[in-house]
Amino acid sequence: MDCLNLLKFYINGAWVEPLGKARMGVENPATEEIVAELALGNEADADLAVAAARAAFDSFSVWPVAERIALVQRILDEYNARYEEFAQAISLEMGAPLEFARSAQAWAGQVHIESTIAAAKTMQWEYSRGNSRIVHEGIGVCALITPWNWPMNQIACKVAPALIAGCTVVLKPSEIAPISGVLFAEVCHAAGVPAGVFNLVNGTGPVVGARLASHPQVDMVSFTGSTRAGTAVAAAAAPTVKRVAQELGGKSANILLPGADIAAAVAAGVEGCFGNTGQSCDAPTRMLVPRDRHAEALQVAKATAEAMVPGDPREAATTQGPVISKAQFDKIQGLIQKGIDEGATLVTGGTGRPAGLNRGYFVKPTVFGDVTNQMTIAREEIFGPVLSILPYDTVDEAVAMANDTVYGLAAYVQGPLPEARAVARRLRAGQVSLNYPDWDTFAPFGGYKQSGNGREYADWGIHDFCEVKAIVGYGEA
């Protein structure tokens, strides 16, 4: 893809040359070919972006809410005008099947901006309580560090609420899948975002990410990524006592209750796990089924997995693309082998590429049965198309197994609604989905335990970018 701005950064309203000379290739994971070159920033580049954001904050933060909403609406309009470019870029940089890139990946950016705008219009930004006035106002300069697996989902979930709250931002997209982030910066420029309000610096986490997290002029870091990287961000941010919002890893349980339609629930659960090639932090990767239905569940899961079509993301028949990189491919291969070595039943899939694919980081859609919660594949986040099916004897046991994890991002329950509701209340997860509902972009999204802190989506995201001020003795409004 011809995107010359990959060799520049967007700082203070202009595309500028990097201060250093470091570059890296952007790889198409479906072909292993380098498709673009990316400039990598250093600490000085990050400092320039933060300085621009700091200089712009005082004036932008006092814009009326209606004007900030109108600005984000213009960003949405520009985004929609380039929607197909976003889908093409995401498919190229991370290997998402093109139709999925259109209907889910690019759509996620669109719908989150829409939801944030709608929520901002009804949000109570200030109100009186007794003799005090309670005011929500932007926290300040925000560093936004986003991942490669849902690039526009996470950029939109951070940039839109931050700007509507009155914050100024520095965005560092993933250097592995940076093209869509650069396109988003072009959209912000075309929408007329004032100089310094939105800035973008590409680079690695240990260099640019670490500098942004530790920078004394950054008031908040919003980070999405692995729990390992999240702990590093939190440690870097701690000396300056800045706010840190994190959406981290997951190992989400999917409990199929005894009253569930096992055939339908298993099929939908496999598809949910394998969506986005299993590269979603909230993927339902641990399927818990009644022991007396375990054999039936394995049969359904096998048939569903084997109906997946891994292949060229540009082909209409393809339902599963590659994983993001060789490092990720190798990690997944090792974990699949670990499952075999630890005694889980390999129902389908396994190590190696799918038949007929001799290049690209394609992983066989893999299902394990007879998994126990102590096995590595039930405890570690695999981040690939690998499903573990665990049998249980009682619902109480299933709940205990579901909660027996360091993670707590999401959970899923299938079965009669009254029982599913009761089980949902017992699960230690930030979002629990009952009977595969549609994606609700107005529901809060975030994790318990080592899956992070803070919440994203709509007004929940706006609140995370706000400080709360009490003006005592304000009097009647």
Count Cβ atoms below 10 Å from residue 131 Cβ, excluding itself: 11
247 catalytic? Reply is yes
Which spans in 32-64 are helix H? 43-61
Q: Annotate 91-116 with b (16+ C-beta within 10 A) or e (fewer).
A: bbbbbbbbbbbbebbbbbbbbbbbbb
Angle formed at CA 302 by CA 301 and CA 307, multiple of 5 degrees: 100
Q: Which residues are bridge partners to 391 per DSSP? A: 289
Domains of the chain: 4-248+451-471 (3.40.605.10), 253-441 (3.40.309.10)
Distances (CA, A) of 138 to 27, 65, 244, 468: 37, 11, 15, 9
3 catalytic? Reply is no
3-state percent breakdown (helix, strand, coil) of the chain, nearest 5 = 45, 20, 35
Distance CA 105, CA 151 (A): 8
DSSP characters over 396-443: HHHHHHHH-SS--SEEEEES-HHHHHHHHTT---SEEEESSPPP-TTS
pLDDT tens, residue order, the chain (477 aa): 557 799 999 999 999 999 999 999 999 999 999 999 999 999 999 999 999 999 999 999 999 999 999 999 999 999 999 999 999 999 999 999 999 999 999 999 999 999 999 999 999 999 999 999 999 999 999 999 999 999 999 999 999 999 999 999 999 999 999 999 999 999 999 999 999 999 999 999 999 999 999 999 999 999 999 999 999 999 999 999 999 999 999 999 999 999 999 999 999 999 999 999 999 999 999 999 999 999 999 999 999 999 999 999 999 999 999 999 999 999 999 999 999 999 999 999 999 999 999 999 999 999 999 999 999 999 999 999 999 999 999 999 999 999 999 999 999 999 999 999 999 999 999 999 999 999 999 999 999 999 999 999 999 999 999 999 999 999 876
User: Taking a C-beta distance cutoff of 8 angstroms, is the pair 370, 380 a contact?
Assistant: no
Give the SS3 label for residue 130. coil
Instruction: Write the secondary structure of 185-208 as one string of H (helix), E (strand) and C (coil).
Output: HHHHHHCCCCCCCEEECCCCHHHH
pLDDT tens for residues 64-123? 999 999 999 999 999 999 999 999 999 999 999 999 999 999 999 999 999 999 999 999
First to last CA, the chain: 55
pLDDT tens for residues 344-402? 999 999 999 999 999 999 999 999 999 999 999 999 999 999 999 999 999 999 999 99
| Token pair 């609604």 in the structure block, residue | 417
Among residues 142, 273, 281, 466, which one is catalytic? Answer: 281
Among residues 247, 273, 381, 456, which one is catalytic? Answer: 247
- Which residues, 6 or more positions from 54, have their beta carbon under 8 angstroms from its beta carbon? 141, 168, 217
